[in-house]
Amino acid sequence: MEIVYSPYDERVMADPWATYRRMQDDAPAYYIPDLDCWALSRFEDIWQASMDRHSYTAGHGTSPDALFLASEPPPSVFLFMDPPAHGVHRGMIAKSYQKDKIATIDAHVRAIVRELLMPALETGRIEVYHLASRVALFVIADFIGLTREEILHIRGLIDRFYTREPGVRGTTPAGAQAFAEAHDYIHGLIGKYRRQPPASHSHINTWLHAIAADTTMTDEEIFFSIFAMVITGSDTVPLTTASCVYYLDQFPDQQALARRDPALLAGAFEETARYDQPTNLLGRRLVRDVELHGQTMREGQSVLFLYAAAGRDGREFEQPDSFNIERKMRRTLAFGTGIHFCLGQHLARLEGRIILEELMASIPEFAVERAACRRVYGEFLQSYCSVPISFKPR
Question: pLDDT tens, 40-66?
Answer: 999 999 999 999 999 999 999 998 888
For the chain, the helix, strand and coil percentages under 3-state DSSP, each to the nearest 5: 55, 15, 35
| pLDDT recorded at residue 268 | 98
- Do residues 62 and 282 lie in contact, with contact meaning Cβ atoms separated by under 8 Å? yes
Give residue 200's pLDDT band: very low, low, confident or very high (50, 70, 90). confident
**What residues make up the domain containing 74?**
10-391
Evaluate if residue 2 carries a pLDDT over 90.
no
pLDDT band at 214 (very low <50, low <70, confident <90, very high): low
Is residue 229 a part of any domain in this protein?
yes
Span 61-98, pLDDT tens digits = 998 888 988 777 777 788 888 899 888 889 999 999 99
Q: For the residues 120-124, what does the mean pLDDT come to?
A: 95
**Local confidence band at 215 (pLDDT 50, 70, 90 cut-offs):** low
Q: What is the mean pLDDT of the chain?
A: 94
Q: Is the pLDDT of residue 117 over 90?
A: yes
Rounded Cα distance between 247 and 275, Å, is: 10
Mean pLDDT of 118-130: 96
Q: Where does the pLDDT of residue 226 fall: very low under 50, low under 70, confident under 90, or very high at 90 and above?
A: very high
Q: Are 355 and 131 in contact (CB under 8 A)?
A: yes
For 15-30, the pLDDT digits (tens) are 899 999 999 999 999 9
Query: Can you tell me the distance from the alpha carbon of 210 to that of 204, in angstroms, rounded to the nearest whole number?
Result: 10
Give the DSSP per-residue string, 40-67. E-SHHHHHHHHH-TTTEESTT-SSHIII
Residue 213 has what pLDDT? Answer: 58
Specify if 132 maps to a domain: yes
Span of 147-151, 175-179, 306-310, 385-389 with lowest mean pLDDT? 175-179
* Residue 4 domain-assigned (yes or no): no
pLDDT of residue 381: 85
Q: What angle (nearest 5°) sits at the alpha carbon of residue 389, between those of residues 387 and 393?
A: 155
Q: Is residue 261 part of a domain?
A: yes
User: Is residue 81 within 8 Å of residue 60, measured between CB atoms?
Assistant: no
311: domain CATH number? 1.10.630.10
The Cα–Cα gap between 333 and 273 comes to: 9
105-119: average pLDDT: 97
State mean pLDDT over 108-125. 96
Q: Is residue 282 part of a domain?
A: yes
- Write down the pLDDT at residue 199: 84
Contact residues for 139 (Cβ-Cβ < 8 A; gap 6+): 105, 108, 109, 112, 233, 347, 351
Amino acid 81: pLDDT: 87
Give the pLDDT mean for 252-257. Answer: 97
Residue 1 lies in a domain: no
Q: Does a structural domain hold residue 161? A: yes
Is 5 part of any domain?
A: no
Whether pLDDT at 212 is above 70: no
Number of domains in the chain: 1
